[in-house]
Structure 1
Amino acid sequence: MTYHSLPNPGDDDPGARIPRRYAWVVFALSFGLLLSDYMSRQVLNAVFPLLKHEWVLSDAQLGLLSGIVALMVGLLTFPLSLLADRFGRVKSLAVMATVWSLATLGCGLAQDYPQMLVARFLVGVGEAAYGSVGIAVVLSVFPKHMRATLTGAFMAGGMFGSVLGMALGGAVAAHMGWRWAFATVALFGLVLALLYPIIVREKRIAPPRPDELRTGKSGAATTPAAKVPLRSLVNSRSVVAAYIGSGLQLFVGGTVIVWLPSYLNRYYAMATDAAGGVAAMIVLVGGMGMIACGMLSDRLCRNAPERKFSLAIAYALSSCALLSLAFALPHGTPQLVVIGLGLFLAVGTSGPAGAMVANLTPQPIHGTAFAMLTLVNNLLGIAAGPLVTGLLADQLGLEKAFQLVPLISVAAAAVFYFAKRHYLADVQQVGRLHVPTYGVEVPT
């Protein structure tokens, strides 16, 4: 089968125009806000015992305080990302950060459970679209050949922020009380929310219009997002497969992250704090895997973009082999090391999958495209994985359930293989339909 070559990455690569130093400033501020996002979300976990004792709460009530944030993120990611694409990503991100930071401060001021529940609801509203819109901003200021690296690094911020939120929250709560734990995290977010729109300017990061490229002027936006049909989000077989493959693979990674502390508590007889500490170290290994696997993808695939799917397939199958081996090993240090290696690769598909989605959808609606990816990741992976594993564990035991979970990676690899067969033709079609050529002939 003969495929078209990719469009010339010169004029149709908006990120290539942005000074690299400024691009890294944008990344640092966006990454900092992502840390704030997950710190605000996870600081609650560090103070669970204190809230339970002070307000005499049940585990179900505590679980609702945590779950309501994820619920709002799942429900609102897509519509809020769509609004951000249409009304300006930078100002939308600043508003989001302000909302979740003030809501986190409200958690620290809450006088009873209902007030805390309302505050956590607002945390979820503020955080709902940050991940999808934030990565769209980051990708818009860097060249296309860095997309897998940046997607992996940005998504790893969620893991780092979760660990940091629990660690900082626990330390502050132990010395100053649980209210100050929320206040400290909120202050960090508010400072970044103030700085972000001052330093990151919408006009400076917007791609140029065709007439501006011809005249050498710049500073205005390209085709408005409102004029790009939403069917572009699912207009090719490759992009649909990228969504589904990413979600299936995160079924494995999300399950290991959520259930690992319980596994350590039950089968290693670790106390809750020790199990959480060991699990946090393994989660950090996963975060490093997101970054490293994304960097490797960009390095190996710059001149052969279809290899991104080959690497995603390799990550999925290798993680299946390692995690299957890990949960067949006797309990001990070697098992924990292999679990860490398996998680390193299990979440490594995040970077390549994000790059595929960016390449297969029009730039003006990248925020919405990543919202779609987030939605599928949650439905098929992060939400479904822990739930299905819990149901299996009730019937078979957690250890046996963990032995079955890695097999989902085989399905993810099969979906990525399907996408690979159509990727070059599909991305060429996106280039012809949505990327202005500015007088440069698109290769055919």
Structure 2
Amino acid sequence: MVAALAFGLLLSDYMSRQVLAAVFPLLKADWGLTDSKLASLTSIVALMVGLLTFPLSVIADRWGRVRSLVTMAVVWSVATLACAIAANFEQMLIARFFVGVGEAAYGSVGIAVVLSVFSPRLHSSLSGAFMAGGSFGSVVGVSLGAVIAVNLGWRWSFTAMAVLGLILAALFRAVVTESRLKRYAVHDEGTEVVDDGRPEIRVPVSTLFTNSAVWCAYLAGGLQMFTAAVLLSWTPSFFNRYYDLAPGKAGSVAALFVLLVGTGMVVCGVITDRISRTDPSRKWTIAIVFCAISLVTLGAAFRVETGPLQLTLLAIGAFFSAGTSGPTAAMVAGLTHETVRSSALGTLTVANNVLGLALGPFVIGVLADKMGLMDALALAPIFYIGAIAALIVGHRVYPRGLRKLAAQSARYSAIPA
């Protein structure tokens, strides 16, 4: 139940975030916006997530994860409602700013809640599935938002997402409690707990930045998200411009490719857990393979003519485009102490948003104004090269990272919580 409700709120999170992509063509026509301005409405959300995720994740670790999740859901839902009544670009930008504030730490805190009640051997699968919720939410947000916009107007698209978010926030608050999480918590091996189920020790947040293997996971996660974020934001416009589809139809077709992104995150997470069951270091190797597949297929997809071959390459690349998300989240979780796991995953979320979800759509939007959308999209897969490099280094220093974590746990075990 905890996982289901957390997943439901994640769907709402990305529905509120990505419904904007479905109404890009309508906003462009109504307000005469350039591609770079449209991109800024998307990137401002990811930028705020990137800036605020870490401090809000630290607060959630101390103040209470359930309380924090509910507060965030209410904020992003009210801000989405404000998007529905925006009268111009400036007002929409401010509303989207607060959508980002509300969504800032939901991904990191939500996944920490889910991982806390499951065994570490399932963490890649769970991380991939949970993070795929973003893609599934994007599918619903884009496809449903497009249908509502065509039939009722784009303002009702935002209104529908806002109402759903408020309903789910109320349901989560009624069902999930801190005491329930403590009762079902699965602690790391060797962790001592006190009578109320809390870990006996608490390591300082500074330990998140002293492990080189964790840094590699942060960097790889952010860079591999660059192209995935571009697909989430720009595929509706891509099909609208190059396949001559109406906005509603373009949104529906784009939703299929976004669905492939989410499905790939789940499947790649399961594959990673199976392959790395006896050797956790294999997570790094399989993540490299996922990035390489996307680099080749997406790099080719935007350089061939429109048609069946392009769509096939695009589908394969989309499936693996964010496949590294589950493995990198599991790496971060496995290299950090459970008492600061929200903060650790928050740092990963910062990297994902700053390097990927914020940077990707904005850079491609700016380039599209200068060279055309197709040529701009062809450059996006280059960022996988950086992700692959970070993963290679991470694989080399991974054993040292595990020893560092063990030493940290032993060091702080003598300090009362």
TM-score relative to the length of structure 1: 0.81
Distance 1:259 1:43 in 2: 12
- Supply the distance in 2 between the matched residues of 1:51 and 1:321 (Cα, whole angstroms): 33
**Number of the residue aligned with 1:289:** 264
Structure 1 residue 140 corresponds to structure 2 residue 122: no
Aligned pair partner of 1:220 in 192, 197, 205: 197
Structure 1 partner of 2:383: 408
SS at match of 1:59: coil
2-structure distance, mates of 1:281, 1:340: 9
**Deviation at residue 83 of structure 1 after TM alignment:** 0.8
Work out the CA distance in 1 between the residues paired with 2:89 and 2:382.
Answer: 41
Contact 1:204/1:219 (CA < 8 Å) preserved in 2? no
Q: How does 1:5-154 map to 2 (within 5 A)?
A: 25-47=1-23, 57-59=31-33, 65-108=41-84, 118-154=94-130
* Match in the other structure for 1:167: 143
| Aligned residues of 1:41 and 1:123 also touching (Cα < 8 A) | yes
Identify if the C-alpha distance between structure 1 residues 423 and 194 changes in structure 2 by more than 3 Å, giving closer, same or farther: same
Matches within 5 A, 1:114-263: 118-206=94-182, 207=185, 218-223=195-200, 227-263=202-238
Residue 292 of structure 1: how far off its partner (Å):
0.2
Shift of 1:118: 4.7
CA RMSD of aligned residues (A): 3.3
- SS class of match (1:383): helix
Name the CA shift for 1:324/1:103 in 2 (closer, same or farther; >3 Å): closer
Structure 1 residue 66: Cα displacement: 4.5
**Alpha carbons of 1:359 and 1:183: their partners in 2 closer, same or farther (altered >3 Å)?**
same
Cα shift readout 1:288-309 (whole Å, capped 9, x = no counterpart): 0000000110111121100000
Paired letter, 2:177: R
Change in Cα spacing, 1:74 to 1:267, as seen in structure 2 (3 Å) is same
Judging changes above 3 Å, is the alpha-carbon distance between structure 1 residues 115 and 339 closer, same or farther for their aligned structure 2 residues?
closer
- Structure of higher CA gyration radius: 1
Distance apart, 1:180 and its partner CA: 4.3
User: CA–CA distance in 2 between the matches of 1:354 and 1:222?
Assistant: 21
Contact 2:47–2:354 (CA under 8 A) maintained in structure 1: no
Aligned counterpart in structure 2 of residue 422 of structure 1, from 397, 400, 416: 397
Q: Alpha-carbon deviation of 1:392?
A: 5.2
CA contact (8 A) 1:33 1:189 kept: yes
Deviation at 1:29, TM superposition (A): 0.3
| Contact 1:223–1:364, Cα closer than 8 Å, also in 2 | no
- Decide whether aligned partners of structure 1 residues 74 and 58 sit closer, same or farther in structure 2, where only a CA change above 3 A counts: farther
Shift of 1:163: 2.1
SS at match of 2:397: helix
In structure 2, do the counterparts of structure 1 residues 435 and 338 end up closer, same or farther at CA, with 3 Å as the change threshold?
farther
Is the CA contact 1:76–1:128 (under 8 Å) kept in the aligned structure 2? yes
Deviation at 1:148, TM superposition (A): 0.8
Please name the residue that 2:336 is paired with: 361
The aligned length equals 409
Change (3 A) 1:309 1:81: same
Shift of 1:407: 3.5
CA distance in 2, matches of 1:155, 1:395: 33
Asked if 2 retains the 8 angstrom alpha-carbon contact of 1:90 and 1:197, the reply is yes
Q: Which residue of 2 aligns with 1:5?
A: none
What amino acid is the match of 1:59?
L
CA contact (8 A) 1:320 1:409 kept: yes
The CA deviation at 1:77 is 1.5
Structure 1 unaligned segments of length 5 or more: list them. Answer: 1-24, 439-444
Q: Distance in 2 between matches of 1:345 and 1:134?
A: 23
Query: What is the CA–CA distance in structure 1 between the aligned matches of 2:77 and 2:354, rounded to whole Å?
Result: 26
Aligned amino acid, residue 153 of structure 1:
A
Is 1:342 aligned with 2:317?
yes
Alignment check: 8 A CA contact 1:209 1:220 kept:
no
Judging changes above 3 Å, is the alpha-carbon distance between structure 1 residues 124 and 48 closer, same or farther for their aligned structure 2 residues? same
